[in-house]
Amino acid sequence: MSAVPGLGVRREGPVLRLRLERPEKRNALDDAMLGGLLAQVEAAGQDEGVRVIALSAEGEHFCAGADVVARNAPRERKPRVGSIQRRLPLQAHRLIPALLTVQTPVVCAVRGFASGIGCHLALAADFAVASTTARFWEPFTTRGFTPDSGGSWLLPRLVGVARAKEMLLLGRELSGAEAAQWGLVQRVVEDAELDAAAEALVTRLAESATVAVGLTKWLVHRGLEVGLEQGLSNEGFALELSSRSRDFREGLEAFRERRPPRFEGR
């Protein structure tokens, strides 16, 4: 489905599988891969047949961040001043919000290095499962520049300001086990169990009440930015919508009949 080198795209029923396939570069993202990921996530949000997005990577490492070597290779003509500021809102700074706001749950499986935007892809997912081999790293200040792709926004919300500063200012590298202890990921497993653990989440979400799950995701993220009154108003709005879904009626019938619900994602 994908014409973007380095990005595998496969649709399996209600599951959209996005796979980073550039292992020789530790799956570092170039501009084409960023654009491909963004296009797929945005399209999934409008495709009623997609009920979960599964994000993974080929090889020993999830993603070593952006391919800064290729981006800073010698050119015949230097870009105009402000090229970074102009480019980011259309690429990395659009991809991370897309993952956070799409009302389709995202499951991410991480092994090996997850650096820079690779780390942020995992943090923006709804569920991140890490291998014991995983290493979460913010390399920015250790290379002499500042964070991008939402690192300075995501980390304080997930782990608090003090721990965020350890990663962002000091470049502290976290193991998969430490990432789970800090709350960066939901679960850490042995490397041999990673794919199965992530797949169990994918399967569960693919069989869930998709409308209710998507609206609940929206409520959680909006709740971080608004006061209680607006949060309660949002809950009323979401409840009105979810209670009109076919899955809501199925949930009630299953409860009355004392059986597991068979949700259709409608």
State the CATH number of the domain containing residue 44: 3.90.226.10
Does residue 1 carry a pLDDT above 70? Answer: no
Does residue 234 carry a pLDDT above 70? Answer: yes
Q: Which of 58-72, 98-112, 175-189, 224-238 has the lowest mean pLDDT?
A: 58-72
Residue 96 sits in the same domain as residue 215: no
The half-sphere exposure of 7 on its side-chain side, counting CA atoms within 13 A, is 22
How does DSSP assign 163-225, residue by residue? HHHHHHHH---EEHHHHHHHTSSSEEE-GGGHHHHHHHHHHHHHTS-HHHHHHHHHHHHHHTT
In this prediction, residues 255-259 reach a mean pLDDT of 94
Amino acid at 199: E
Does residue 240 carry a pLDDT above 70? Answer: yes
CA dihedral angle for residue 180, residue 185, residue 190, residue 194, rounded to 10 degrees? 170
Residue 117 lies in a domain: yes
Does residue 251 carry a pLDDT above 60? Answer: yes
Alpha carbons 99 and 126: distance in angstroms, whole number? 9
pLDDT at position 199 is 97
Residue 263 lies in a domain: no
DSSP-based three-state secondary structure for 142: helix
147 phi and psi angles, rounded to 5 deg: -65, 155
Residue 265 lies in a domain: no
* Domain ranges, residue 227: 210-257
Residue 237 sits in the same domain as residue 191: no
Write down which residue in 206, 221, 236 finishes a domain: 206
Strand partners, 8: 19
Alpha carbons 241 and 177: distance in angstroms, whole number? 39
pLDDT at position 166 is 96
Residue 2 lies in a domain: no
Residue 235 sits in the same domain as residue 156: no
In this prediction, residues 107-114 reach a mean pLDDT of 97
Residue 15 lies in a domain: yes
In this prediction, residues 178-191 reach a mean pLDDT of 96
69-95 pLDDT per residue, tens: 555 555 567 777 666 666 766 678 899
**How many structural domains compose the chain?**
2
pLDDT at position 3 is 79
Q: Pick 188 or 67 by higher pLDDT.
A: 188
Residue 95 sits in the same domain as residue 34: yes
What percentage of residues in the chain have a pLDDT greater than 70? 92
Query: What sign results for the dihedral spanned by CA atoms 211, 217, 219, 222?
Result: negative
Residue 262 lies in a domain: no
pLDDT at position 72 is 52
The conformation of residue 60, written as its DSSP 8-state character, comes to S
Residue 264 lies in a domain: no
Residue 217 sits in the same domain as residue 129: no
A 10 A CB-CB count for 262 gives 11
Residue 170 sits in the same domain as residue 237: no
pTM for this model (two decimals): 0.91
Q: What stretches of the chain adopt beta strand conformation (E)?
A: 7-12, 15-20, 52-57, 106-110, 113-115, 127-131, 135-137, 174-175, 187-189
Residue 216 sits in the same domain as residue 242: yes
Residue 163 sits in the same domain as residue 245: no
Alpha carbons 234 and 116: distance in angstroms, whole number? 33
Residue 165 sits in the same domain as residue 43: yes
pLDDT at position 93 is 85
pLDDT at position 155 is 96
Residue 76 sits in the same domain as residue 30: yes
Residue 186 sits in the same domain as residue 242: no
Does residue 149 carry a pLDDT above 70? Answer: yes
Residue 196 sits in the same domain as residue 215: no
- Strands 7-12 and 15-20, by their bridges, are antiparallel
Residue 1 lies in a domain: no
In this prediction, residues 179-197 reach a mean pLDDT of 96
Query: Mean pLDDT over all residues of the chain?
Result: 92
Alpha carbons 26 and 6: distance in angstroms, whole number? 11
Of the candidates 207, 205, 165, which has an alpha carbon nearest to the alpha carbon of residue 186?
205
173: burial class by Cβ within 10 Å (0-12, 13-18, 19+)? middle
CATH of the domain at 224: 1.10.12
Alpha carbons 10 and 24: distance in angstroms, whole number? 21
pLDDT at position 88 is 67
